[in-house]
């Protein structure tokens, strides 16, 4: 078991020193990390293969899901994206010490709102070993220190990537030590959750149970999402070819992702045109189809089950389909059963699109586009630390800006409140 208190103390000290770093130094460090990851690619894949062999045994024994196994697997494309993500962050503006706005509040008194790092961030994630490089890069660019806890199923891959990153950091004499730390056990997590005096934010990336556990067992602010129950609503004015292509992409391109579609709502007025082609296309792509009783009665050969719970995240090639009478009913269904992650309307009617995008209460509301675009890399953030459904300072894919907060700087010339209370001076 790690000495988590000491790790957090060192991370706190490092976070203060990070404030002194120039953008140039941070960018040099990130480029070094990208280079070292590429040079040590074979080590990373060797470690990942070792984790995958163990995971295959657990998969056969039903101890882990297919979705978790898929997230664990590091292939060539994921590796390229991982390294590219680090280099892309170098190209982004430094989010720290930006003047967000400034104004005179009285003659000679200037108030500034300035961006600053959050401080020490604890990241707890399951599988997904590529997360380490994403989070580390975003943390460095935004001048934060991080404490990472990966899932035990990816322990060897996590450790290999962590060691490569830390070797890169240690090659810079002027870079703070202990900026990036790694802990391993559940006991370590329990201790970390108690350190609200040292850790400023917790970001969990994983199952609903993980997020729920974190939220219930810490006083530290938590940023994240518990479920990825994404919807696509096919409006009566939808282009059917667009709808079919978008839904197949949103469900089948990477079913394990939290931004894959889980429920499709179909306006009854377009059902005769779209429903059977959609069911056929889903079946051709080996998707298990569940529905309401009305659709089941119409197409029993396509439907596996009647849906008992519309608040359901499959994370597999499985989907729920339901009729909707109109846009308002679809919006109400999404706001009732959705998770506030990402939801889409497919329509050529601008009025219905605007109504949907205004009244659906989710972090991402889309029009005629796959929900799989809900991703920091695809938004141009370089990478993301996760998706937030919180209504706090960060929502949706959380990139650099989501890892900063702000402070107010007030600059005067010997001013005192008494002058304003007495009426001698006035606020602008």
What per-residue confidence (pLDDT) applies to 1? 58
Domains contained in the chain, number: 2
Whether 270 and 156 map to the same domain: the answer is no
Mean pLDDT on 352-366 = 97
Return the closest-CA partner of residue 25 out of 235, 173, 156: 173
Average pLDDT along the chain: 94
Give the alpha-carbon dihedral of 331, 333, 334, 339, to 10 degrees: 150
- For the entire predicted model, the pTM comes to 0.86
What per-residue confidence (pLDDT) applies to 203? 92
Q: Is residue 383 part of a domain?
A: no
CATH number at residue 129: 3.40.605.10
- How confident is the model over 208-251, as pLDDT tens digits? 788 888 989 999 999 987 789 999 999 999 999 999 999 999 99
Whether the predicted pLDDT of 141 surpasses 80: yes
Element (H, E) at 71: helix 66-72
Per-residue confidence at 205, pLDDT binned at 50, 70, 90? Answer: confident
Whether 274 and 401 map to the same domain: the answer is no
What per-residue confidence (pLDDT) applies to 151? 86
Side-by-side strand order, sheet with 109-117:
99-106, 109-117, 404-411
Mean pLDDT on 252-279 = 96
Q: Residue 60: which domain range?
A: 4-224+390-409
Mean pLDDT on 304-321 = 95
- How confident is the model over 82-95, as pLDDT tens digits? 999 899 999 999 99
What per-residue confidence (pLDDT) applies to 194? 96
What per-residue confidence (pLDDT) applies to 59? 87
Q: Is residue 424 part of a domain?
A: no
Whether the predicted pLDDT of 135 surpasses 70: yes
Q: Is residue 428 part of a domain?
A: no
Return the closest-CA partner of residue 44 out of 182, 164, 167, 125: 164
What per-residue confidence (pLDDT) applies to 2? 77
What per-residue confidence (pLDDT) applies to 63? 84
Q: Give residue 362's Cα distance to chain centre.
A: 14
């Amino acid at each position: 078991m790690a000495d988590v208190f000491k790790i957090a103390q060192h991370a706190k000290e490092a976070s203060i020193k990070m404030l002194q770093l120039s953008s140039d130094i941070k960018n040099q460090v990130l480029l070094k990390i990208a280079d070292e990851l590429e040079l040590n690619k074979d080590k990373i894949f060797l470690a990942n293969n070792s984790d995958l062999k163990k995971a295959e045994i657990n998969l056969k024994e039903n101890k882990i899901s297919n979705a978790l196994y898929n997230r664990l697997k590091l292939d060539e494309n994921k590796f390229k994206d991982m390294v590219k993500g680090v280099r892309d962050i170098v190209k982004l503006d430094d989010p720290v010490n930006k003047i967000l706005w400034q104004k005179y509040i009285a003659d000679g008194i200037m108030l500034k709102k300035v961006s600053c790092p959050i401080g020490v961030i604890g990241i707890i994630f399951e599988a997904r070993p590529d997360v380490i490089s994403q989070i580390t890069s975003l943390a460095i660019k935004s001048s934060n220190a991080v404490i990472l806890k990966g899932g035990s199923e990816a322990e060897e891959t996590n450790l290999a990537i962590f060691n490569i990153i830390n070797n890169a950091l240690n090659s810079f004499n002027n870079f703070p030590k202990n900026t990036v730390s790694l802990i391993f056990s559940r006991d370590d997590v329990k201790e970390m959750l108690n350190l609200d005096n040292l850790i400023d934010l917790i970001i969990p990336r994983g199952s609903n149970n993980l997020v729920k556990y974190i939220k219930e067992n810490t006083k530290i602010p938590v940023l994240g999402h518990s479920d990825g129950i994404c919807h696509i609503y096919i409006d009566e004015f939808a282009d059917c070819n667009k709808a079919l292509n978008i839904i197949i992409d949103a469900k089948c391109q990477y079913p394990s992702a939290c931004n894959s579609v889980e429920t499709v709502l179909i306006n009854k007025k377009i059902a005769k045109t779209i429903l059977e082609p959609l069911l056929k296309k889903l079946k051709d792509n080996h998707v298990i189809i569940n529905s309401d009783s009305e659709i089941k009665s119409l197409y029993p050969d396509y439907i596996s089950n009647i849906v008992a719970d519309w608040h359901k995240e499959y994370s597999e090639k499985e989907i729920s389909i339901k009729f909707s009478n109109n846009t308002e009913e679809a919006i109400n269904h999404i706001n009732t059963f959705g998770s506030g992650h990402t939801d889409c309307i497919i329509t050529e009617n601008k009025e219905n699109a605007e109504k949907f995008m205004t009244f659906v209460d989710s972090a991402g509301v889309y029009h005629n586009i796959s929900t799989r675009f809900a991703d920091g890399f695809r938004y141009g953030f370089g990478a993301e630390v996760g998706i937030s459904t919180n209504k706090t300072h960060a929502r949706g894919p959380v990139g650099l800006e989501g890892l900063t907060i702000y402070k107010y700087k007030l600059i005067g010339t010997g001013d005192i409140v008494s002058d304003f209370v007495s009426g001698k001076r006035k606020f602008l």
